[in-house]
Amino acid sequence: MEPSLFSPENEKRRTNVKRLLCDGSDAKQAEIKGGALRRHVKRLLCDGSDAKRQRHSTERALKLLVKAHRLAHKPPKLRSPWPELTSYRLAHLRLRRTSQTHEELLEIDELLAESVRCPELGPWPRLYRLAVLHRIGAPEALIAAELHRTRKAISEHMQSDEPPDRARLQDPLLNSLELCIYFLGRPYAEIEGLRGTYDEPLGEHENWSLVGPDPDIANIRYSRAFALAELNAVADEHPSALRFCIEENERDSWWQGQQGSKGKLRKDTGSLLAHILSGPGLPVRDALGEEVSDEMRRKAFERFREDLAKITGLSESKFFGDGGRGLRLPEGVVIYGACSPSAWR
């Protein structure tokens, strides 16, 4: 866990800070579950991002992001990357206010200390945290340690084979200008209203999706990096769950089970699995497209049962639909997947 400037004697104050951020009353909370909650948090993040790029709209954006942060952290807490992402966005917006007290900067440091635990956000949260530590007057040893971690994060980011949008929060030049403002403690109004051409993560142009026991999560669009981040977080929450990933390049698709067992995943098997999880009751035959012949579809169904039987250790008969036809997933088998657009073609 990242070190924080909250000392033991300030534990009571830290508890009050978390209560302020996470415990706000919301009559709709009980009605928002699973995928619906993620979709609601994403909408708040997108609306907040739109607002923050407009002049004199920081306070309006802040209200939206406070609510997104509260929903992502309220028990049961959402899986990564949602808590870290909302903490990062909230910290960023709070730094935009005209001035921050020492107390407020400590709270922002707490938010950034959480956000740096999500590597998919890239090195920017660490860079912003350095600015906060500098303004707080943090001990030299803490700044030196954070600078070392930041250097390492930047080095790994520059050498990564991940697609270039891995940490594309906004234009790097705008990030750099903001960082100068934060170090100097200048009013953000001096640069407010600037915007670049880079997409924000989880924005309109993201085209990956997640599937799982709750079919509603298939309606949320992610970047590849954030889809895989939440899929990896599933392993901690559901150690017995089967996970799979359908990449754009079929040869890179994979499945992973218990005790680290892993293997290649056939494209048709992955598409059928994604279709079953995203829409119970929908005609499974539609998953392979209209151009597929009945014979090709029959063989794809056979391979699906063979593959799932091999992966789960269950009998192929468990994967037959009603009346010995079609496909189904037996009760007790928990499966999550991250799907590129190719899963739906």
pLDDT (tens digit, 9 = 90+) per residue, 299-335?
Answer: 988 999 999 999 988 999 998 887 667 788 888 888 9
Domain membership flag for residue 2: no
Looking at the structure, tell me whether residues 142 and 243 fall in a common domain: no
Q: Which residue has the higher pLDDT, 58 or 80?
A: 80
Neighbours of 164 (CB within 10 A): 7
* Percent of the chain whose predicted confidence (pLDDT) is above 70: 77
Q: Are residues 236 and 176 in the same domain?
A: no
Among 76, 177, 64, which Cα is nearest to 124's?
A: 177
Whether 121 and 67 map to the same domain: the answer is yes
Beta strands in the chain (DSSP E): 209-211, 242-246, 254-256, 262-264, 335-339
262 with 147, same domain: the answer is no
Asked whether the bond before 280 is cis by omega within 30 degrees of 0, the reply is: no
- Give pLDDT, residue 19: 39
pLDDT higher at 166 or 176:
176
pLDDT at residue 178, rounded to an integer: 79
**Whether residue 344 has pLDDT greater than 80:** no
Tokens representing residue 136 in the block: 């707080």
**pLDDT for 112:** 95
State how many domains the chain has: 2
d(CA 126, CA 149): 8
Token duo for residue 303 = 């391979």
Lowest-confidence pick of 87-101, 186-200, 239-253, 271-285: 186-200
Whether 166 and 310 map to the same domain: the answer is: no
Question: CA 77 to CA 213: how far, in whole Å?
Answer: 17
228 and 331 inside one domain? yes
- Can you tell me which residue has the tokens 């915007």? 195
- Give the strand pairing for 254-256 and 335-339: unpaired
Beta pairing class for 242-246 and 335-339: parallel
Q: Give 4-16 pLDDT, tens digit per residue.
A: 444 444 444 334 4
For residue 204, is it within any domain?
A: no
| Averaged pLDDT score across all residues of the chain | 79
> Which of these three, 140, 163, 190, is where a domain ends?
190
- What is the total residue count of the chain? 345
Q: Which residue has the tokens 């739906």?
A: 344
Residues 31 and 93 in one domain: yes
Percent of the chain exceeding pLDDT 90 equals 27
Asked if 314 and 308 touch (Cβ cutoff 8 Å), the reply is yes
Is 80 exceeded by the pLDDT of residue 27? Answer: no
Judged against a pLDDT cut of 90, whether residue 95 lies above it is answered with no
Residues 210-226, mean pLDDT to the nearest whole number: 84
Based on the fold, state whether residues 122 and 31 are members of the same structural domain: yes
Calpha distance 114→131 (Å, rounded)? 16
State how far the Cα of 271 lies from the Cα of 284, in Å rounded to an integer: 10
Residue 181 pLDDT level (bands cut at 50, 70, 90): confident
Give the per-residue pLDDT at 165: 44
Residues 149 and 269 in one domain: no
Is the model's pLDDT at 212 over the cut of 80? Answer: yes
Amino acid identity at 73: H
Among 24-33, 162-171, 213-222, name the one with the lowest average pLDDT.
24-33
152 and 223 part of one domain: no
Give pLDDT tens digits for 230-263: 898 888 788 888 999 999 888 899 999 877 789 9
Judge whether 196 lies within some domain: no
- Do 223 and 301 sit in the same domain of this protein? yes
**For residues 306, 308, 314 and 318, what is the CA-based torsion angle, rounded to 10 degrees?**
-80
Give 222's pLDDT tier (boundaries 50, 70, 90): confident
Query: What pLDDT, on a 0 to 100 scale, did the predictor assign at position 160?
Result: 67
Name, in order, each residue with C-beta under 8 angstroms of 289's C-beta and a sequence gap of 6 or more.
Answer: 345
Whole-structure pTM value: 0.68
pLDDT of residue 99: 75
Residue 160 domain-assigned (yes or no): yes
Instruction: Grade residue 55 by pLDDT with cuts at 50, 70 and 90.
Output: low
50 lies in which domain range?
Answer: 8-190
Buried b (16+ CB within 10 A) or exposed e, 233-255: bbeeebeebbbbbbbeeeeebeb
Check: CB of residue 301 under 8 Å from CB of residue 271. no
Cα dihedral sign for 60, 61, 66, 68?
positive
Strand (E) or helix (H) holding 303? helix 294-312
**Interval 282-307 mean pLDDT:** 80
Cα 161-164-170 angle, rounded to 5 deg: 145
- Assess whether pLDDT exceeds 60 at residue 20: no
Out of 141-145, 198-202, 228-232, 308-312, which region has the weakest mean confidence (pLDDT)?
A: 198-202
Contact 284, 293 (CB under 8 A): no
Measured CA distances, 242 to 85, 159, 215, 328 (Å): 25, 30, 16, 15
**Does 187 sit behind a cis peptide bond, omega within 30 degrees of 0 on the bond before it?**
no
**Can you give the pLDDT at residue 17?**
37
Q: Is residue 165 within 8 Å of 199, Cβ to Cβ?
A: yes
